[in-house]
Amino acid sequence: MTSLVSTPTTAPTRTIRIGSRKSQLALVQTHWVRDELQKRFPELTFEVTTMDTQGDKVLDVSLSKIGDKGLFTQELEDGMLQGNIDFAVHSLKDLPTRLPEGLMLGCITEREDPADALVVHEKHQDKQLDTLPKGAVIGTSSLRRLAQLRHHFPHFTFKDIRGNLNTRLRKLDEGQYDAIILAVAGLKRLDMGDRIHQVIPADLSLHAVGQGALGIECRMGDDEILALIKTLEDSSTAYRCLAERAFLRELEGGCQVPIGVNTKINDGVLTLMGLVASLDGQTLIKDTVQGHPDDAENMGTQLAQNVRSQGAQTILDAINAENRQ
Ligand code: DPM
């Protein structure tokens, strides 16, 4: 058919739809991804679609009681499967180790400092973890942070805390807690690095699997999208996080469990340290494996089997039994 208007010589620019949670941190992270992709692919248009997840809506129940099966990811995953968005940006540590059929982890970005931070009430400005008073109320909803810190500091009182970063900091400043524990990465990304009072060293508390990295999830077989997002991958972070995720995948049974990790790559050797703790902080089971980064996932699985045979299974069974009640 002939047309009176001139036919365009190039295809119309494609719009790529990115899914994100609405929280301030999620948006900072998603906008970083969008801006980096826009720089690399100026001919494409990127659009951010925000969604509320179950984890954003249910604020009055402890995280460990809700379980961790896609609490912060499911609505975004539905959006991808229904074709409403093309990929989703997550804090990698919130992305379950088993993804729904048809979806995949397409990219792992360069990690921020994966450590946890102590943030104190102003009256404790001169204190560190080892000088906070007996009975100090420490806010965290992480079983991992709770169990490890309780092991080293049994004289603290641990109290649940929920809500986004700003809500948590407000509750701390109002005096509901003496100190709270937050990820260094989240504070830095929100330009609140000045609230980091002490970076908690690995010998006191190992960080969560994937902490500090972003995970970009996409549809399996969507090669066009996969090629785009892969340009943001950091291979060193990816190897480390794949090892960490394999460790967690092999151990978890759907509930939040006190599992911590630490990884590094030096001279081409990947070191993965993993820990399982009992909730009372009495028992910490820790082991390390080393190998070639290409073998990352097998190393994670191997380490899980090691700690299991060293007593971790008993701890996990007890936690899972408690969570079923
Ligand atoms: C998961 C945990 C927490 C988040 C459990 C854990 C912390 C919950 C709490 C799996 N997801 O770490 O053991 O302390 O009450 C979350 C944060 C970030 C991603 C906030 C934080 C930002 C840091 C990052 C919540 N998810 O840990 O302070 O990107 O790694």
- Residues 141-185 have pLDDT tens digits of 999 999 999 999 999 999 999 988 999 999 999 999 999 999 999
- Degrees (nearest 5) of the Cα angle 19, 181, 175? 110
Pocket of ligand 1 (CB under 6 A): 63, 91, 93-94, 140-142, 144-145, 182-183, 185-186, 208, 211-212
Supply the pTM of this predicted model: 0.93
Confirm whether 94 is a catalytic residue. Answer: yes
- Same domain flag for 25 and 95: yes
Ligand 1 atom 2, closest CA: 142
The pLDDT value given to residue 8: 54
The pLDDT value given to residue 253: 66
CA of 183 to the centre of ligand 1 (A): 6
The pLDDT value given to residue 221: 96
Ligand 1 atom 5, closest CA: 142
Cα–Cα distance measured from residue 228 to residue 39, given in angstroms and rounded to the nearest whole number: 12
- Same domain flag for 40 and 155: no
CA of 196 to the centre of ligand 1 (A): 15
The pLDDT value given to residue 257: 85
The pLDDT value given to residue 322: 80
The pLDDT value given to residue 56: 78
- Same domain flag for 189 and 50: no
- Same domain flag for 20 and 100: yes
The pLDDT value given to residue 12: 58
> Residue 158 belongs to what domain range?
116-199
Residue ranges of the chain with per-residue pLDDT less than 70 = 1-12, 59-69, 253-254, 325
Q: 35, 60, 78, 94: which one is catalytic?
A: 94
- Same domain flag for 100 and 226: yes
- Same domain flag for 88 and 132: no
Ligand 1 atom 3, closest CA: 142
Residue 4 lies in a domain: no
The pLDDT value given to residue 252: 84
The pLDDT value given to residue 323: 74
Q: Supply the CATH number for residue 87's domain.
A: 3.40.190.10
CA of 93 to the centre of ligand 1 (A): 7
Each residue of 46-79: b (16+ CB within 10 Å) or e?
beeeebebebbeeeeeebbeeebebbbbbbbbeb
- Same domain flag for 104 and 44: yes
- Report the number of distinct structural domains present in the chain: 3
Residue 145 CA, closest ligand 1 atom number? 13
- Same domain flag for 102 and 123: no
Cα–Cα distance measured from residue 232 to residue 218, given in angstroms and rounded to the nearest whole number: 14
- Same domain flag for 148 and 227: no
The pLDDT value given to residue 260: 97
The pLDDT value given to residue 320: 83
Ligand 1 atom 18, closest CA: 186
- Same domain flag for 218 and 173: no
- Same domain flag for 245 and 227: no
